[in-house]
Structure 1
Amino acid sequence: MRSSNPVLNSLTNSGKRTQQGAGAPYAGYGQAPQTIRSSERPMTVDDVVTKTGMTLGVIVVFALVNFAIYEFINPGLALILTAVGAIGGLITVLVATFGKKMDSAPVTLIYAAFEGLFVGGISLIFSGWTIGNSNAATMIGQAVLGTVGVFLGMLFVYKTGAVKVTPKFNRILTGCLVGVLVLVVGNLLFALITGNSPLRDGGPLAIIFSLVCIGLAAMSFLQDFDVADRAIRAGAPAKAAWGIALGLAVTLVWLYTEILRLLSYFQNR
């Protein structure tokens, strides 16, 4: 089953490869559950939880590092590192997706380091920390709690089967995500030409757009959980947990960023 998350979609397509010395592909698990022969032990829920926890831990550490650089060393350097983190994170995801490195621990942890720098810097900017907003820490805390709440809520929805991840669901969600991407690119070009950014200026349209992005990020978790569930039931090797951790981290960072952006709109009113 295809996923709209590029990392996890690449992971589910890795069944076209053959495990060294195994004689059978290890990851046809994007489709129907099956038993997969591999020289490596099968992945478990604990593997996914552990690898995801390590990935998020690295993100938090590097976010705090960028915070510290801004506060105690050089604000300008922190902002530069924020841009480096954004670009580096994007490049790492592209390497993981198109370079077939989605089950690589170094790639996942490098992504986490880059995204940590980005998350730390973007939190400073969106919360108004850089302009002395006294409520900045509260906003960041609210965004973190909101992200955790949405994640746990969607996990509950998935486990209870309230929403089924079907091929039709995936097609609709993927279409919506492509539409959002087109709108983001179009808004960027419009802003460069006119100086106006209607989808990011804090107005009613920007609020609606952020709510749509938050909703799509939440729905994306269902796909992420489904890929992880199928991988475990199919007996994918333990190292595949790094790819699932990377996919979950991509969604979590997107969700956190959109929630913080939305909160900043109301702060500025």
Structure 2
Amino acid sequence: MTSRSSRDAPKNADVSWGAFNPAAYIDHNYRNLHAEDAEILRIVGDHFADHFREHSHGPVSGIDVGAGPNLYPALAMLPWCQKITLLDHSPANVSHLESQLASYDPTWDQFWEALCEHEAYGSLDLDPRERLRRTAVVQQGDLFDLGRHAGRWTMGTMFFVAESMTSRHAEFEAGVERFMSALAPGAPFAAAFMAHSHGYFVGGNSFPACAVGESEVWASLEGFARDFKIVRLSSSAQIREGYSGIILACGWRQ
């Protein structure tokens, strides 16, 4: 029997995603490079660089699912991708991302510089703004519709999405499944989750979250991923209230 609390928990379709304020989100989360994000960039940069050093590959297509206004997952995929799809449901986020493609804001320079501490990024002779302009395409879409694109992308990221779009565990699990199903076999991926989040505010508007820990993240991935690792970030400072830390998963699609 479904409990009353489960029935009443906000689901993704209940949320007014048009009210999401990308400028407020950036100001609070990304105006400065936090220790958590620097740690994520180091781990994800190592994961992707190791993959492409050890595996031959043809044309690479990447996807950042639920990109929001956050560009650093795309920057982490930038050296290897011929095309990167920035997928988001919110019209405000889509408009913001489109405004960034011609020449993204200086805010993101510190994130690229952090990636360039890894030789695989720092040794590249490329202008990341020009490369992103030529590589990235913004697409408005629903994570739950990715089932129509099984195996389409050869690398992917999903940062703070599956647990931050709903209060229902079934939708969290479905979100992870759709992301993983959109990746081709063997595709490297990175996914980040707010641990035990109770919801969050952006620009005065509240948004739901699903409280998950390492065990829930592991269970959501184990049927779709291989050789994956889950890391609870060592950085302990919180940039907002209502969560207990950050969980990062890196691995490969089965």
TM class by shorter chain equals under 0.3
TM-score when scaled to structure 1? 0.25
Which structure has more strand as a fraction of its residues? 2
Higher relative contact order (CA 8 A, sep 6+): 1
